[in-house]
Amino acid sequence: MLYLHPFYQPGAQLSLNLRSCVDDKTERNVQATVAKAFTPFTMSQVLLVDINPPIPDILSGAKTSFVLKVYDPRFLQHRKGTKSSAPHPWTLKAETTAARRRAFGATTFLPTWWPDDADAAGWEEYYFSNLQQLFTNELAAYTRLLPLQGRTIPHCYAHGTLALPVAAARAVAPRVLLLSYVPGPALRAVHPARIAPPVVGALVDTVRAFGALGVIHDDLRPDNIVLSPTDAVARPFVLDFGNAEVRRPDQSDDEWELTLAENNEPKQVEIMLDSLGVQHLAT
């Protein structure tokens, strides 16, 4: 049976310090109730939460259910170990040591390095830095893709931190994103015959729009594409921008066009649709 920390069990109360993704000048403390955990967790922890009463100056007044993404390094699946890495269970002591090193500028961590297995604090820094980067990538991508929010990607309503209770004191404050909930099955779970040409066309157009707006998704796969609503399969929504590459301010048009051509995400979508048996026009 899958173990869920009490933070993430249905009915758990979470305290969030949030700023609007559109205007982040004012921070608000918001109370959320966990309705469901989307497990298994891999990188971020993804939850369906209820917020009631609504917070009109940050959230849509018409909605009370949202997706909460928590970037807490404590619950990364990688900690359990891989074929090339031993298990690295979380401890407060190692997390605190890593935080102290960061505070004094004593870390030499690079995202491409794996620490020695015996370096518990080094692994905490590795996990912390990776999740901070995922959060930064995702927030930057949603900011760039504002014209697509609510149409073919979720709304990004707010960002901030998880306010942990005193009894669960930590050396880090996990970052969070609050997104709109998009109900519907993943692309992989839908029979190809039910996916109409306009849906396929909308998916390809969306991926092209990413590039035009300065974003490469870099993790396009059937599990990150939801067809909504469940009973009609009317529109594709692309999720999970943690691996996204966002155009740098100093990149010229020619440099960005070369980056887009090297990645060629519309072609990746075509290959993915072929693998699923979905009919499409050549992109």
pLDDT in tens, 65-88: 999 999 999 998 888 887 877 899
User: What are the Cα distances from residue 137, in Å, to 9, 125, 202, 206, 218?
Assistant: 27, 18, 24, 18, 11
Residue 199 per-residue DSSP state: H
pTM: 0.91
pLDDT value for 266: 94
Local confidence band at 61 (pLDDT 50, 70, 90 cut-offs): low
- Give me the domains of the chain, ranges plus CATH numbers: 1-181 (3.30.200.20), 187-276 (1.10.510)
Distance CA 72, CA 78 (A): 13
Can you give the pLDDT at residue 115? 85
Residues sharing a CB contact under 8 Å with residue 12, sequence separation 6 or more, in sequence order: 6, 33, 34
Mean pLDDT confidence for 123-132: 93
pLDDT over 70 for what percent of the chain? 92
Region 17-38 average pLDDT: 89
Strands (DSSP E) found in 117-224: 156-163, 175-180, 215-216
* Interatomic CA distance for residues 179 and 78, integer angstroms: 25
**Residue 38: pLDDT above 50?**
yes
Half-sphere exposure of 11 (CA within 13 A, CB side): 1
Look over the chain and give the mean of its residue pLDDT values, rounded to a whole number: 89
